[in-house]
Chains A and B, each alone.
Chain A
Amino acid sequence: MTTAKASAELVSRSRGSKAFRRLRENSPFLVMLFPAVVIVFLFNYLPIYGVLIAFHKDFVPGDSILNPVGGWVGLQNFKNFFEDVQFWPLMRNTFLLCIIGFVVGFPLPIIVSLMLNATRGRRTAKILQTIFNGPHFISLVVLIGMLNIFFGHYGLVNNIKESLGGERTQYFLQESAFRPMYILSSNWQDFGWSAIIYIAALSNVDPGQHEAAILDGASRFQRVIHVDLPAIMPMVSLMLIMSIGGLMGVGYEKAFLMQTDGNLGVSELISTYVYRKGILNDTNQSYATAIGLFNSIINVVLLIIANTTSKKFSNNSLW
């Protein structure tokens, strides 16, 4: 009896002290983590209560969020959005731009990293990587400026076209040119940068495995498939989950900068519409907030679906 009790006591005490010891051991890291936690709380969690605006009748700046002058309207703003003539075009534009961008943009850095990794000369690979990273640092406005220089009415492409006897085309006024320009320029800017994470994962591959594969008779390409690719697979699933989660979360800036009256039919996205409604003209901030919130909910749902699926099939997941 007594020994059982004593040992139980011992267990509980050691458990308590263990948790305490862990806390103490990790205290320097916890202290370092503290500012990040504060910032995330202040700027990412605290403002969430602002979504309440979506349930106001009509929020005007200066109005109380918790006690609106116009009163509460429940889900009316959401209903209005679903019935808005813009609803389906917005959904379609956002979805298509994102899904095409994803299909083109997701595999690209993976392929680039595998190719860089298989490059014989280490020096060559390093130089190429640096070159590929360059465009990432170009600011959005400059990028759009470059697009204009290349594809504008008096831009390079049109100059060449004309010199070959063709007609000048107003690419920025064409609906069909918007998505290719948008997606290709995005990928051009970021394929090298996004490859970094895979290159890092690849540098951890044991060279002995490649040598074993060489002796097993694997060609260069077979080694990429059977040694390199499996090594970055966990990273690929992680990135896949994260990009599916952000699939519909395209920002308004670039589309807005590329928007013209000519391509508005495909370039008006949920985010640009929110910007227009909430800030630019014809303001209805409650309505805009409701649309934004709706967009976020879609993202969260996608993220959960992607994570659950990945967990089930590959044991890789965010949580």
Chain B
Amino acid sequence: MATLTLKNIKKVYPNTERTTKKRKKKTDEPVKEKANLQITDEGVVAVQEFSLDIADREFIVLVGPSGCGKSTTLRMVAGLEEISDGELYIGDRLVNDVAPKDRDIAMVFQNYALYPHMSVYDNMAFSLKLQKVPKDEIRQKVEEAARILDITQYLDRKPKALSGGQRQRVAIGRAIVRSPQVLLMDEPLSNLDAKLRNQMRAEIIKLRQKINTTFIYVTHDQTEAMTLGDRIVIMKDGFIQQIGTPQEVFGHPNNLFVAGFIGTPQMNFFNDCQLTLEGGKYAVTVLGTSIPLTDEQQAKLKANNCKPGHVIVGVRPVHMRIDPNGFIGKIEVSEMMGSELHLHLSVGDSDIVAIIPTVGLNLSDYAIGKTIGFSFSPDLMHLFDPETTNNLI
């Protein structure tokens, strides 16, 4: 357990034909991922202006699309990548130039990276053995970790003889036996199937209660981020987009990217909306209808001195409601999810999704091809500047 401070961290991968080619082959991620990263004379800037204060025992999740620099950031914290610029503190200690083994961190890798020739016990005991910890203390620690992770009965097996989920537990076990100050996890669940992933996610939440460690967790899955994180760091193209609690990033996304990335189904966007200012009062025109804004929203717009003009309005699918007097949309697809109905509507030239509870609903009214009326309350609406993509309220 320790606090972590990242000050304006930057990572530049030097531009050598050789490394980029090799990298491409290794990660078979799409080639165009690099398109939006800043490329300077020095090379590809994978991460920049990364500043974050992590509290003791906090669970931080780095989330973002593939290639946004999450792993790079994590690997810089681990010491596996050099930090090109900026300062990294673990506790009060500047660790930029400290070797990985002296940083008191542990890491769980996406592909587990277990030692194939060692038994589960030896895998977990390896770091302690290297530290020359006495034998019975090692045994005690490994058994303790095995008990926490429920892998006691597999201690004698080789990793080959384990299932994916069990291997993942061993990988976590190997990381926690030496009670690191910081536990890093790079997409630990992405190699598991959906069911196992949910199960392991719950396990990680439980694990958190049992061990005193600061967590940094990397994932591209926003659901994982929302369910696990105390705070979420949303990244794109090497830049932090927003840092906040799951509630904050869901309820008040900083910009269009965060708004679209967090929450499934995605937030609905109405592109051609007008912000109007009449008699000192702001209103927004959505699909030809003028909607007055709440006092709070008025205040924020005023404080920001917003000019009337073109804006993008965003509303989450769950915030849509059926309203015969509202906007008219045609049902393109109707997905019955049990307790709720996902309606894909076409309204004007935008496609939007509405989630409505099925209780007391006559499903035949929501068949494909029918038209329905819907609306949303103004206080659940987000306004984005089309130029800067920032949230205006």
Contacting B at CB under 8 A, from A111-162, are: 122
Enumerate chain B residues within 8 angstroms of A211, measured Cβ to Cβ: 78, 80, 107, 109, 113
With contacts defined as CB atoms under 8 Å apart, how many contacts are there between chain A and chain B in the complex? 58
Question: Chain A, 205-220, contact with B by CB distance < 8 Å: what is the 0/1 string?
Answer: 0101101111111100
Q: Are B109 and A217 in contact (CB under 8 A)?
A: no
A-B contact pairs, 8 of them (CB 8 A): A122-B18, A215-B80, A216-B127, A216-B174, A217-B130, A226-B115, A227-B115, A230-B115
**In the assembled complex, A12 has its CB within 8 A of some CB on chain B:** no
Q: Are B117 and A230 in contact (CB under 8 A)?
A: yes
Question: Chain B, 152-166, contact with A by CB distance < 8 Å: what is the 0/1 string?
Answer: 000000000000000
Q: Are B117 and A216 in contact (CB under 8 A)?
A: no
**Assembled-state Cα–Cα distance A208/B112 (Å):** 8
**In the assembled complex, A233 has its CB within 8 A of some CB on chain B:** yes
**In the assembled complex, A86 has its CB within 8 A of some CB on chain B:** no
Enumerate chain B residues within 8 angstroms of A217, measured Cβ to Cβ: 101, 127, 130-131
**Assembled-state Cα–Cα distance A211/B101 (Å):** 11
Q: A217-B101, A233-B117 are contacts. A212–B130 as well, Cβ < 8 Å?
A: no
**In the assembled complex, B12 has its CB within 8 A of some CB on chain A:** no
**In the assembled complex, B100 has its CB within 8 A of some CB on chain A:** yes
Q: Are B126 and A226 in contact (CB under 8 A)?
A: yes
Q: A208-B109, A226-B126 are contacts. A215–B115 as well, Cβ < 8 Å?
A: no
Closest to B22 in A: A122
Contacting B at CB under 8 A, from A219-263, are: 222, 226-227, 230-231, 233
Q: Are A215 and B105 in contact (CB under 8 A)?
A: yes
Question: Chain B, 123-139, contact with A by CB distance < 8 Å: what is the 0/1 string?
Answer: 00011001100000000
Apart from A215-B100, A222-B130, 17 more pairs, CB < 8 Å: A209-B115, A211-B80, A213-B115, A213-B126, A214-B80, A214-B100, A214-B101, A215-B80, A215-B107, A215-B127, A216-B127, A217-B101, A217-B127, A218-B101, A218-B130, A226-B126, A230-B115
- Nearest chain A CB to B312's CB is how many angstroms away? 42
Enumerate chain B residues within 8 angstroms of A230, measured Cβ to Cβ: 115-118
**Assembled-state Cα–Cα distance A213/B101 (Å):** 9
Enumerate chain A residues within 8 angstroms of B66, measured Cβ to Cβ: none
**Top 4 A-B pairs ranked by shortest CB distance?**
A208-B113, A216-B127, A217-B101, A230-B117
Q: Are A215 and B130 in contact (CB under 8 A)?
A: no
Q: Are B113 and A209 in contact (CB under 8 A)?
A: yes
**In the assembled complex, B106 has its CB within 8 A of some CB on chain A:** yes
- Nearest chain B CB to A84's CB is how many angstroms away? 49
Interface size class on chain A is 10 to 19
Q: Are A215 and B111 in contact (CB under 8 A)?
A: no
Q: A209-B113, A209-B115 are contacts. A215–B78 as well, Cβ < 8 Å?
A: yes
Enumerate chain B residues within 8 angstroms of A215, measured Cβ to Cβ: 78-80, 100-101, 105-107, 127
Enumerate chain A residues within 8 angstroms of B78, measured Cβ to Cβ: 211, 215
**Assembled-state Cα–Cα distance A226/B116 (Å):** 10
**Assembled-state Cα–Cα distance A216/B113 (Å):** 12
Enumerate chain A residues within 8 angstroms of B174, measured Cβ to Cβ: 212, 216
Question: Chain B, 327-345, contact with A by CB distance < 8 Å: what is the 0/1 string?
Answer: 0000000000000000000
Closest to A217 in B: B101
Closest to B186 in A: A208
**Assembled-state Cα–Cα distance A69/B111 (Å):** 72
- Nearest chain B CB to A312's CB is how many angstroms away? 18
Enumerate chain B residues within 8 angstroms of A214, measured Cβ to Cβ: 79-80, 100-101
Q: Which of B79, B105, B109, B131 is in CB contact (< 8 Å) with A212?
A: B109
**Assembled-state Cα–Cα distance A209/B131 (Å):** 18
Enumerate chain B residues within 8 angstroms of A209, measured Cβ to Cβ: 113-115
Question: Chain B, 79-121, contact with A by CB distance < 8 Å: what is the 0/1 string?
Answer: 1100000000000000000001100011101010111111000
Enumerate chain B residues within 8 angstroms of A122, measured Cβ to Cβ: 18
Enumerate chain A residues within 8 angstroms of B106, measured Cβ to Cβ: 215
Enumerate chain A residues within 8 angstroms of B127, measured Cβ to Cβ: 215-217
Q: Are A216 and B101 in contact (CB under 8 A)?
A: yes
**Assembled-state Cα–Cα distance A233/B115 (Å):** 13
Q: A215-B105, A230-B117, A233-B117 are contacts. A206–B100 as well, Cβ < 8 Å?
A: no
Contacting A at CB under 8 A, from B352-376, are: none
Which of A122, A216, A231 counts the most chain B CB atoms within 10 A?
A216
Enumerate chain A residues within 8 angstroms of B109, measured Cβ to Cβ: 208, 211-212
**Assembled-state Cα–Cα distance A41/B55 (Å):** 74
**Assembled-state Cα–Cα distance A185/B79 (Å):** 45
- Nearest chain A CB to B83's CB is how many angstroms away? 16
Which of A206, A212, A217, A231 counts the most chain B CB atoms within 10 A?
A212
Enumerate chain B residues within 8 angstroms of A206, measured Cβ to Cβ: 111, 113
- Nearest chain B CB to A120's CB is how many angstroms away? 14
- Nearest chain A CB to B183's CB is how many angstroms away? 11
**Assembled-state Cα–Cα distance A69/B386 (Å):** 105
Q: Which of A208, A216, A227, A233 is in CB contact (< 8 Å) with B130?
A: A216
- Nearest chain B CB to A80's CB is how many angstroms away? 51
**Assembled-state Cα–Cα distance A227/B106 (Å):** 18
Enumerate chain A residues within 8 angstroms of B79, measured Cβ to Cβ: 214-215
**Assembled-state Cα–Cα distance A216/B101 (Å):** 6
Which of A212, A214, A215, A226 counts the most chain B CB atoms within 10 A?
A215
